[in-house]
Amino acid sequence: MNLEQTTELSVSEHAQKLGHLALSLGYDGSLTVGALEDEIRFYQRRTVEACLELGKRLILLKEITPHGEFKQRIEMLNINYRTANRFITAAFKFSKND
């Protein structure tokens, strides 16, 4: 077996392992660097949007609940108080209205 055949075999084994990894993760998209980077950017934007929407709803929940009850409410939602405040701060900072 020459070096070229060994390299082809190694690349083929890597591709097969990558395919198995993708399958085990439940990923069925393209396995190219460009496609993965595009999808990462897409999910980054979605995550930021979701965090801001979460912050808006936490602001409204805090406003609508009686004094002292907000902390209990967010604990029932499994959200740490400090984390909730970070979402709230971000939502205020990036809100379109002053």
Q: Tell me: the pLDDT tens digits for 43-82?
A: 999 999 999 999 999 999 999 999 999 999 999 999 999 9
- pLDDT at residue 2 above 80? no
Q: What percentage of the chain exceeds 90 in pLDDT?
A: 81
pLDDT for 96: 74
- Determine the Cα–Cα distance for residues 92 and 80; give it in Å rounded to an integer: 18
pLDDT for 67: 93
Range name among 2-6, 10-14, 32-36 with the lowest pLDDT average: 2-6
Q: Outline where the chain has alpha helix (H).
A: 3-25, 33-64, 70-76, 81-93
- pLDDT at residue 3 above 60? no
Count the residues in the chain: 98
- Determine the Cα–Cα distance for residues 33 and 85; give it in Å rounded to an integer: 36
What is the pTM (predicted TM-score) of this model? 0.73
